[in-house]
């Protein structure tokens, strides 16, 4: 029967809540509206909202028309924090700022690109309205980030090109060195080879010459002998031939002489009388005896001396080749390329996000869990306390106390009903945040149940304390409001707790809201896993137990006081 009555009380309270239209709106629509309003209102605290609805109008004038202007424009068009408005002239941009249509405006003066290209400095003009502090701050931050990005990219490009050229030069130098070294080695090797070859050649030549000399000598000797023999033969033959010819000639001459004589005789005969007129014919000389000898068959009167044995005495070959000059020493000085001049570049900050979440959070990352916890507290504190007061005011509390059920079941049933509603409420609000505003539920969405259970339990239990402390509805509202406002504000529900001074953050550790937001931020923004939620949940449960103990004791005391 205990469980039956407990479940009956639980079901009754859930039904009462279901019939409470204002309560349901307060639990669901109200926080969604507040989250939406606060989210968009405070979006620019975080830079931008994910929907871009709070983006600043940002007039933009590019007088330069260079690459920098194009780059800036392209990147600003994709920047969610601003709505780029390209204007034709700087006077228009100035006017929009003066007319409060925009808090800032950017002008790229003529010559900017040329100045940068030539290594000089350039300056962009940013018109601002300092009254729009936050807009000015956010736009400046974005522009500085863009400037750093572009400068870094340009530097890296230039450095890369320079490094590339240097690398190529170094490679070329290295290749040159290597080539020269190779050439030297080859020259040295060639020299050695030449010397060796020379020596070998000399030896070969010597040997060849020797062989040749010998051969020549032999051949010359043989040739000489042959020539001698041949000559002799030839002489003999010639002599023979000459002799023959001579003999023939002589014969002929003799014949001819004879003929001549006959002729002469004839002539004389013919001349008859005139024979006397005929001059005396020449007298044929008498063949000399030598000639007759020559023509005779006798020994040739010409003695061809027998050549002496031919002995070719070639002088030894003296190969005095000029030494191969040693190759000149190739001293290749080490090529030391000049280092790139140290150009002092801009200073950038390499931000390392140590969490698993994005670098830029959106306003709803803070507001969804923050205002969800706030309205949860409102629901829990006011719901539990006012719910108990309702039971008292309706008279049903006494009727329940007069029924055969455990007194604790009345409290437990009501607290359990509120607990279930609270868990459901948080789940719905987080789901709405995820669906409508793009907040992340972390890598383990189920892990969000832990801090949810913790804060709901603590809130329910604290509601019991408020019910015991505040005896009337009129007392519950201010007491509850003060408690909720303090816990929510100081606990980091409405703004990042890091905005608070250290001492306040220390004080905030006494509030379960602080631990709840710590867990939600770890799970949803830092994208940590369930382990990050264990300690905060344990702390919240401990607070809840403390509140429950105090609340039950105080509530019993109040009942006793009311009884007396």
Residue ranges that bind other proteins, judged by CB under 8 A? 1, 4-5, 7-9, 11-12, 15-16, 19-20, 394-396, 398-405, 563-564
Task: Closer to other proteins by CB, 146 or 400: give it.
Answer: 400
Task: Closer to other proteins by CB, 217 or 398: give it.
Answer: 398
Task: Closer to other proteins by CB, 284 or 394: give it.
Answer: 394
Task: Closer to other proteins by CB, 67 or 400: give it.
Answer: 400
Helix (H, G, I), strand (E, B) or coil at 59: strand
Task: Closer to other proteins by CB, 1 or 234: give it.
Answer: 1
Min dist. Cβ of residue 353 to other proteins (A): 51
Contacts of 347 (CB under 8 A, 6+ apart): none
Within 10 angstroms of residue 182's Cβ, the number of other Cβ atoms is: 11
The distance of Cα 91 from the centroid of its chain, to the nearest Å, equals 42
Buried-state track 132-171, b at ≥16 Cβ within 10 A, e below 16: beebbbbbeebbeeeeeebeeebeeeeeeeeeeeeeeeee
Task: Closer to other proteins by CB, 201 or 400: give it.
Answer: 400
Please state, in angstroms and as integers, the Cα–Cα distance from residue 326 to each residue in 188, 191, 425, following that order.
8, 7, 99
Within 10 angstroms of residue 305's Cβ, the number of other Cβ atoms is: 6
Strand partners, 125: 107
The token pair at 266 is 């004839």
Min dist. Cβ of residue 23 to other proteins (A): 10
Min dist. Cβ of residue 4 to other proteins (A): 6
Task: Closer to other proteins by CB, 9 or 516: give it.
Answer: 9
Min dist. Cβ of residue 477 to other proteins (A): 20
Min dist. Cβ of residue 379 to other proteins (A): 17
Task: Closer to other proteins by CB, 16 or 202: give it.
Answer: 16
Task: Closer to other proteins by CB, 103 or 383: give it.
Answer: 383
The token pair at 367 is 């507001």
Nearest to 415 by CA among 9, 57, 8: 9
DSSP states along 104-134: EEEEE-TTHHHHHHTT-----EEEE-TTSHH
Min dist. Cβ of residue 445 to other proteins (A): 35
> Containing H/E element for 104?
strand 104-108
Min dist. Cβ of residue 410 to other proteins (A): 9
Distance, in Å, from the CA atom of 4 to the CA atom of 1, rounded to the nearest integer, reads: 5
Min dist. Cβ of residue 563 to other proteins (A): 5
Min dist. Cβ of residue 400 to other proteins (A): 7
Min dist. Cβ of residue 512 to other proteins (A): 30
Please state, in angstroms and as integers, the Cα–Cα distance from residue 558 to each residue in 241, 482, 563, following that order.
176, 21, 8
Task: Closer to other proteins by CB, 354 or 563: give it.
Answer: 563
Min dist. Cβ of residue 97 to other proteins (A): 57
Distance, in Å, from the CA atom of 446 to the CA atom of 452, rounded to the nearest integer, reads: 10
Task: Say if residues 427 and 373 touch (Cβ distance below 8 Å).
Answer: no
The torsion angles phi and psi of 105, rounded to 5 degrees, stand at: -150, 145
Min dist. Cβ of residue 421 to other proteins (A): 15
Task: Closer to other proteins by CB, 115 or 420: give it.
Answer: 420
Strand pairing category for 125-128 and 104-108: antiparallel
Helix (H, G, I), strand (E, B) or coil at 128: strand
Task: Closer to other proteins by CB, 303 or 560: give it.
Answer: 560
Task: Say if residues 439 and 528 touch (Cβ distance below 8 Å).
Answer: no
Task: Closer to other proteins by CB, 379 or 433: give it.
Answer: 379
Distance, in Å, from the CA atom of 366 to the CA atom of 521, rounded to the nearest integer, reads: 8
Min dist. Cβ of residue 397 to other proteins (A): 8
Contacts of 361 (CB under 8 A, 6+ apart): 46, 525
Distance, in Å, from the CA atom of 124 to the CA atom of 112, rounded to the nearest integer, reads: 8
Q: Using CA of residue 397, residue 401, residue 404, residue 407, what is the dihedral sign? A: positive
The token pair at 149 is 């990005």
Task: Say if residues 82 and 111 touch (Cβ distance below 8 Å).
Answer: no
DSSP states along 63-98: SS-SHHHHHHHHHHHT-TTEEEEEES-HHHHHHHHH
């Amino acid at each position: 029967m205990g469980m039956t009555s407990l479940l009956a009380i639980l079901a009754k309270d859930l039904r009462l809540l279901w019939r409470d239209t204002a309560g349901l709106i307060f639990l669901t629509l109200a926080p969604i509206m507040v989250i939406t309003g606060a989210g968009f209102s405070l979006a620019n605290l975080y830079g931008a909202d994910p929907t871009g609805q709070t983006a600043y109008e940002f007039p933009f004038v590019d007088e330069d028309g260079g690459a920098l202007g194009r780059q800036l424009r392209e990147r600003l068009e994709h920047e969610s924090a601003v709505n780029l408005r390209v204007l034709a002239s700087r006077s228009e941009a100035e006017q929009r700022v003066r007319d409060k249509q925009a808090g800032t405006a950017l002008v790229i003066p003529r010559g900017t690109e040329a100045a940068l290209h030539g290594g000089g400095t350039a300056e962009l003009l940013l018109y601002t309205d300092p009254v729009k502090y936050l807009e000015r701050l956010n736009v400046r931050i974005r522009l500085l980030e863009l400037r750093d990005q572009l400068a870094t990219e340009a530097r890296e490009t230039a450095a890369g090109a320079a490094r590339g050229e240097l690398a190529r030069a170094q490679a070329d130098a290295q290749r040159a060195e290597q080539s020269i070294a190779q050439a030297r080695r080859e020259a040295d090797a060639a020299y050695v080879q030449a010397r060796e070859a020379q020596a070998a050649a000399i030896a070969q030549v010597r040997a060849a010459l020797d062989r040749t000399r010998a051969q020549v000598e032999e051949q010359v000797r043989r040739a000489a002998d042959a020539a001698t023999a041949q000559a002799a033969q030839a002489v003999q033959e010639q002599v023979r031939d000459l002799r023959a010819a001579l003999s023939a000639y002589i014969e002929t001459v003799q014949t001819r002489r004879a003929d001549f004589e006959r002729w002469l005789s004839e002539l004389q005969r013919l001349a008859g009388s005139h024979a006397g007129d005929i001059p005396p014919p020449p007298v044929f000389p008498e063949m000399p005896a030598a000639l007759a000898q020559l023509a005779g068959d006798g020994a040739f009167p010409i003695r061809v001396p027998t050549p002496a044995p031919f002995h070719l005495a070639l002088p030894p070959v003296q190969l005095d080749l000029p030494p191969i000059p040693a190759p000149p020493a190739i001293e290749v000085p080490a090529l030391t390329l000049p280092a790139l001049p140290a150009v002092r570049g801009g200073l950038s900050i390499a931000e390392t996000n140590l969490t698993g979440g994005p670098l830029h959070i959106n306003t709803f990352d803070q507001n969804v869990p923050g205002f969800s916890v706030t309205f949860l507290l409102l629901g829990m504190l006011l719901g539990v306390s006012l719910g108990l007061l309702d039971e008292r005011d309706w008279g049903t509390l006494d009727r329940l106390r007069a029924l055969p059920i455990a007194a604790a079941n009345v409290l437990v049933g009501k607290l359990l009903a509120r607990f279930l509603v609270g868990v459901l409420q948080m789940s719905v609000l987080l789901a709405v945040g995820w669906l409508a505003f793009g907040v992340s539920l972390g890598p383990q969405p189920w892990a969000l149940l832990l801090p949810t259970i913790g804060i709901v339990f603590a809130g329910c239990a604290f509601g019991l304390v408020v019910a015991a402390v505040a005896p009337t509805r009129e007392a519950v509202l201010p007491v509850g409001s003060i408690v909720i406002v303090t816990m929510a504000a100081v606990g980091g529900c409405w703004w990042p707790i890091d905005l608070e001074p250290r001492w306040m953050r220390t004080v905030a550790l006494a509030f379960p809201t602080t631990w709840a937001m710590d867990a939600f931020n770890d799970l949803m923004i830092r994208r940590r896993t369930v382990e990050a939620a264990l300690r905060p949940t344990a702390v919240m449960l401990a607070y809840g137990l403390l509140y429950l103990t105090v609340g039950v004791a105080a509530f019993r005391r109040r009942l006793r006081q009311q009884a007396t």
